[in-house]
Amino acid sequence: MWRLNPSPDRELLPCGDSAFLVELPELTAVVAYYRGLTRAGTSAGVSAPEGIIDVVPAARTVLVTFDSEKIRPSEVRDWLQSAEPAYDVAASGREVTIEVSYGGPDLAETAQFLGMGEADVVKLHSNSEWTAAFSGFAPGFVYLVTTHERLRVPRRNTPRTAVPVGSVGLAGEFSGVYPRSSPGGWQLIGTTTAALWDASKAEPALIRPGDLVRFVEA
Positions in the binding site for other proteins (CB under 8 A): 13-19, 21, 43-45, 53-63, 65, 134-141, 199-200, 202, 204-205, 208-209
| 17 φ/ψ angles, rounded to the nearest 5 degrees | -100, 0
Question: Which residue, 110 or 210, has its beta carbon nearer to other proteins?
Answer: 210
- To other proteins, the closest distance from the beta carbon of 89 in angstroms equals 18
Residues 122-140 as b/e (b if ≥16 CB within 10 A, e otherwise) read beebbebebbbbbbeeeeb
Compute the distance between CA of residue 37 and CA of residue 48 in angstroms, rounded to an integer. Answer: 7
- To other proteins, the closest distance from the beta carbon of 165 in angstroms equals 13
First and final CA of the chain: distance in angstroms?
56
Give the Cβ contact number of residue 6 at 10 Å: 9
- Contacts for 134 with CB less than 8 Å, ≥ 6 apart: 30, 34, 56, 57, 58, 59, 142, 143, 209
Question: Which residue, 107 or 212, has its beta carbon nearer to other proteins?
Answer: 212
- To other proteins, the closest distance from the beta carbon of 31 in angstroms equals 12
Question: Which residue, 63 or 124, has its beta carbon nearer to other proteins?
Answer: 63
Compute the distance between CA of residue 156 and CA of residue 166 in angstroms, rounded to an integer. Answer: 18
Contact 165, 194 (CB under 8 A): no
Question: Which residue, 5 or 74, has its beta carbon nearer to other proteins?
Answer: 74
- To other proteins, the closest distance from the beta carbon of 62 in angstroms equals 7
Question: Which residue, 4 or 202, has its beta carbon nearer to other proteins?
Answer: 202
- To other proteins, the closest distance from the beta carbon of 60 in angstroms equals 5
The H or E element that residue 112 is part of is: helix 107-114
